[in-house]
Structure 1
């Protein structure tokens, strides 16, 4: 199987190709606001380096969110286009799950990885995942919430707490209230990766049906905790 994967949910713009489960090409730009101009050329580059044509694609995996509204829209629309043109399966991969899976090789079973993306103001997109011997599983559901609400949302942490993502630095002090040993993984050392999206996408396709190209939408995770703007008449 030849699988193309896209990561555009954050400032990272990336593409990768798996052939029979092996990474054969990848390219990433870690710069904001380049997705609309650079994503398609990146895809063309990785396909060329993988010695694969678009017609040979069996599947397209895309980081589905939460994250940047614009980045998600660009990534999902591009993924749909390549899937349709190649008559390939489409699979969405939760952005925070893929990010947490990058940390798993460093962690021990029972640890919790909290992936945090900055949602501006005092809020973050958060997802927490329990580390097992060979995977990560949901510990707390993905939400958009104020930093101050993170400890109650997280609950108990049986092992070490790993923090990753550009929302981690502003959340670290608040999460210290959980009284668990804590490790912050700098996002510039471990940025989001299309390779991890590819591997999670391959896993999901092996376990469940692909997504419907016509109806698939990004997982925006609307910020239900947003503070209303003050009334000009108050």
Structure 2
């Protein structure tokens, strides 16, 4: 929140709109009457196996690596809070449990971010994916237009840690290793349903070993 580019401003606008809706139609003080608790959630830059979206760093990297082509990186020094998709999903589901159990006590704004508070550059991500894949290279590409976007984005999840007992499971490198493993399995023609079930089970096992509340 608090950014000056349109994308960042849209996040703040969403919070204002949601709070106005909450206070107008589902005021917390009258929860006993309407039974609705409204929360908002924000995640970092979510990444994971199976994402083939266009103009996104990790999908573009993996498609290039599978095709044996160089990876085009538009803004190598941009820093983003990269996180595996299972991280925010675990937080969202655990928050939903709390909303059902305790209602408006948890009807607020929540962040679910990555383990690394410093943020990781797009160049670091591309180079790590190349190393994990085993070959490849990246090149700096000119986007061809002056797109205004924030160079540094971070996300604090201290509130989720303190009140939900939530924390990330994977480091950024472990998240990328999971992604590369997924795409290698995809390229081999493996049963991807079974692969994804195995990845979810591995994530849950790590979370259980860390003693996270949502696994109890």
Q: TM-score, normalised by structure 2?
A: 0.26
Query: Which structure has greater helix proportion?
Result: 2
- Larger fraction in strand: 1
TM-score normalised per structure 1: 0.25
Higher radius of gyration, 1 or 2: 2
